[in-house]
Amino acid sequence: MAIASNFPNIRPTFIADFANGQTLDNRITFLRTGPAVYYDGKSSALAEQNLLLQSNTFNNAAWVATNATIATGVTDPAGGTTAFSMTATAGNATLYQTVTLTATAYTESIYIQRVTGTGTINLTLDGSTLSPVTITGSWVKYTYTATPSAGSRTIGIQIVTSGDAINIYGSQLENRSSATATNITTTTAINNYIPTLQSAPINTPRFDFNPVTGESLGLLLEPGSTNGLLWSEDYTNAVWTKTNATPIASANIAPDGTQTAQLLVATTTNGVHQIYQTTANTNNNAPSSWSIFAKAGGQRYLNLNAVYGANNFTANFDLQAGTAGTTSGSLGYNQSSNITPVGNGWYRCSISFTGGGGAGGIYISVNNASSGSPASFAGDGFTGIYIWGSQYEPTYSVNSFTSVYLTSYIKTTTATVSRANDNVSITGSNFTGFINLSQGTWYAEAQAGWIENNGNYPTIFAIYNASGSVLQNLVGQSSTTTSKLIGSATLTPIINSSVNNIGVFNKQAYIYTNSILSISALGVAPLSSTSNNAIPTASYMQIGSGPSGSLNGHIKKISYYPIAMTSANLQALSGS
């Protein structure tokens, strides 16, 4: 832990505290020629909701049956025995539950299966206004939407004809105008919320947050990228080929807060349950990432598979445990998988690889095993996994890397879509007005989205002369260290490899003078070079991009002091 007396007693002439302030210093110019998504740390949407109690225990006291008998142990839509039967012992038999409502739109939903009779079956949100549903001998989810008067209201089902019998399963009441996924309650209602992706307009910076922990991650800076898939949110479209799998539209609330998530149902056919889209990776040495947002929907295992000719790379994901399981196959090199929680049981799952040129395909599978390639099994025709937001990023401006290089989600419909890069700079007197060209101290806390390889590095910031030649380039997370400073001398402090992970924030500080260059990272003793590192021709700086590659990550803070501090100061700054 740094000793307080070792901290500098001079104030910085430039400070960009992106994480705490969520603003840009007025000396910074930010440009991006299109929108881009991020989490703002405050926006959320109503996700799963069920205002009924004991929503699948119809013999519980929460329900009042009139002129009807209720029996347990009936085969449910998934093949279990958790459904109930309801038989009318007289005309206008009812099964109601009383709930206090407001004068807004509500949607009632329930699975019903005809057993005997042909009489009318009604749903109701107030006990008096009846909505008939045409039922069959198969399980079907029926819905009824209305705006009842405010107050205590009876919600449920009515059998008009005495002697008629039906099976019922999974009743639900939601305060919205359409039904979402069925959620079974017991003694308490369900009201879940999901952090929602926001869209930042053109030339607007993204101050990003961890959607699960609420941590302020600072300024999100990414290179330009392209989603090479079509209809990235609509798996019912013909561009997605289906094999023993059925996508159900509007099945749940997606990570952007809209009811656009789809349930990929595994059919009862014994086989692999998957959908795929044909893609082409035209550069055999190009890095690629394939990602999707997913949530367990009765099945817990998702498999992602990239196939090019005779080669493939596959990874399994456990959507209950939130873990990326076994990977297999061979598709070029630099193969990896990753899973990131985004709130309310949703995860962004991805695989990355370098290679696989030529025609191929991207596969999404419902799996029934925790490891291995997509397995053959017989689904129940009812459960599956929720999916949304597929993305295939086939090429990058960085030529090579050693791990995941994934960027934020880009929506597509009929054509591929590109997102422009984030361009952050300080130029002219905005730059020369605060920097000392003969000596100074820089501090940065940043997180890189990839690890260097073959001379390319994720840049935190770079300082240039007027002709565009780089003078100093502070980069993060090289393959064996957490930071590197490239100036007239290249300094690479060796840090414990356990912190060398993508997505980890690292603190580092360095000084330059006409006789020394010295850097410290994570409180480790500085590494120095005795050479002339003054920058008398410095003209401007770029933040989050540089001569060797974009940061593709976050910067929490950058500050500049117009003097060269002591080694103790550097160590205190980077270890604080």
DSSP codes, 245-286: EEEEEEEE--TTSSTTEEEEEEPSSSB-EEEEEEEEE--TT-
Compute the Cα dihedral for 361, 364, 366, 371 and give only its sign: positive
Catalogue the E-assigned strands of 402-552: 417-419, 423-426, 440-447, 459-465, 470-476, 483-486, 490-491, 506-512, 517-521, 527-529, 538-543
Q: Per-residue pLDDT tens for 66-85? A: 999 999 999 999 999 999 99
pLDDT, tens digit (0-9, with 9 covering 90-100), for 34-78? 999 999 999 999 999 999 999 999 999 999 999 999 999 999 999
Q: Residue 175 falls within a domain, yes or no?
A: yes
Is the separation of the CB atoms in 348 and 232 below 8 Å? Answer: no
- pLDDT for res 217: 97
The yes-or-no verdict on residue 239 having pLDDT over 50 is yes
Q: Are strands 384-393 and 287-297 parallel, antiparallel or unpaired?
A: antiparallel
Token pair for 418: 């590109």
Question: The tokens of 368 are what?
Answer: 């029934």
At 466, which CATH number? 2.60.120.200
Using one digit for the tens of pLDDT, what is the confidence trace for 304-324? 998 877 778 889 999 999 999
Q: Is the pLDDT of residue 472 over 90?
A: no
Mean pLDDT, range 330-349, rounded to an integer: 86
85 & 231 share domain: no
Average pLDDT over every residue of 157-173: 98
pLDDT higher than threshold 60 for residue 282: no
Q: Pick the last residue of a domain from 419, 452, 483.
A: 419
Judge if 428 and 546 occupy the same domain: yes
**Which residue is listed with tokens 């291995």?**
372
Question: 64 near 97, Cβ under 8 Å?
Answer: yes
Per-residue pLDDT, 289: 86
CA dihedral for 101, 106, 112, 117, sign (positive or negative): positive
Number of Cβ within 10 Å of residue 537's Cβ equals 13
Given this model, what pLDDT does residue 470 score? 87
List pLDDT tens digits, range 402-457: 444 689 999 999 999 999 999 999 999 999 999 999 999 999 999 988 766 556 67
Q: What is the pLDDT of residue 540?
A: 97
Q: Clarify whether residues 337 and 368 are in a common domain.
A: yes
Q: Calculate the CA dihedral of residues 533, 534, 536, 541 and round it to 10 degrees.
A: 70
The C-alpha angle 183, 345, 340, rounded to 5 degrees, equals 165
Tens digit of pLDDT for each residue in 474-508? 887 655 555 556 655 566 554 433 334 567 888 98
Number of domains in the chain: 3
Question: Tell me, what's the pLDDT at 83?
Answer: 98
Which of 142, 172, 192 terminates a domain? The answer is 192
- Please tell me the distance from the alpha carbon of residue 28 to that of residue 358, in angstroms, as a whole number: 42
CB 547 within 8 A of CB 459: yes
Instruction: Let me know whether 269 and 410 are in one domain.
Output: yes
The answer to the question of residue 212 being in a domain is no
Task: Print the domain residue range for 19.
Answer: 4-35+422-575
- Give residue 371's pLDDT band: very low, low, confident or very high (50, 70, 90): confident
In sequence order, what are the residues at sequence separation of 6 or more whose Cβ sits closer than 8 angstroms to the Cβ of residue 25? 14, 15, 16
Judge whether 213 lies within some domain. no
Per the domain annotation, does 211 fall within a domain? no
Helix, coil or strand: residue 34: coil
Q: Are residues 21 and 131 in the same domain?
A: no
pLDDT given at position 400: 44
Reported confidence tier of residue 138, pLDDT bands at 50, 70, 90: very high
Q: Which residues contact 465 (CB under 8 A, 6 or more apart)?
A: 471, 537, 538, 539
Specify whether 26 is located in the same domain as 70: no
**361 and 257 fall within a common domain:** yes
Say what the pLDDT of residue 398 is: 46
Q: Any idea what DSSP says for residue 420?
A: P
Same domain, 427 and 406: no
Q: Which amino acid is at 137?
A: G
- Give start and end residues of each alpha helix (H) in 386-469: 428-432
pLDDT at 494: 43
Q: Which two tokens stand for residue 329?
A: 């196959």
Whether residues 245 and 380 share a domain: the answer is yes
pLDDT of 401 reads 44
SS3 469: coil
φ/ψ of residue 88, rounded to 5: -80, 120
Give the CATH number of the domain where residue 398 resides: 2.60.120.260
Compute the C-alpha angle 168/170/173, nearest 5°: 115
Residues 412 and 427 in one domain: no
Instruction: Identify any residues that bridge with 347 across adjacent strands, giving them in sequence order.
Output: 294, 341
Question: Taking 60 as the threshold, does the pLDDT of residue 368 lie above it?
Answer: yes
Burial (CB count within 10 angstroms: exposed 0-12, middle 13-18, buried 19+), residue 394: buried
Instruction: Kindly state whether residue 160 falls inside one of the protein's structural domains.
Output: yes
Kindly state whether residue 233 falls inside one of the protein's structural domains: yes
pTM of the full structure:
0.92
Q: What is the mean pLDDT of residues 204-233?
A: 96
- Mark whether 8 and 71 lie in a shared domain: no
Instruction: Enumerate residues 6+ apart whose C-beta is below 8 A from 498.
Output: none
- Whether 366 and 237 share a structural domain: yes
| Lowest-confidence region among 212-226, 270-284, 534-548 | 270-284
Position 1 pLDDT exceeds 50: no
- Looking at the domain assignment, is residue 43 inside a domain? no
388 CB contacts (<8 Å, ≥6 apart)? 233, 254, 255, 260, 261, 262, 292, 293, 294
Q: What is the pLDDT of residue 345?
A: 97
Mind listing the pLDDT tens digit for each residue in 171-204? Answer: 999 999 999 999 999 999 999 999 999 999 999 9
- State whether residue 288 is helix, strand or coil: strand
pLDDT at 229 over 70: yes
Q: Is residue 403 part of a domain?
A: yes
Question: Collapsing DSSP states into helix, strand and coil, what is residue 131?
Answer: strand
Of 387, 403, 419, the residue that ends a domain is 419
* Residue range 504-523: mean pLDDT, rounded: 88
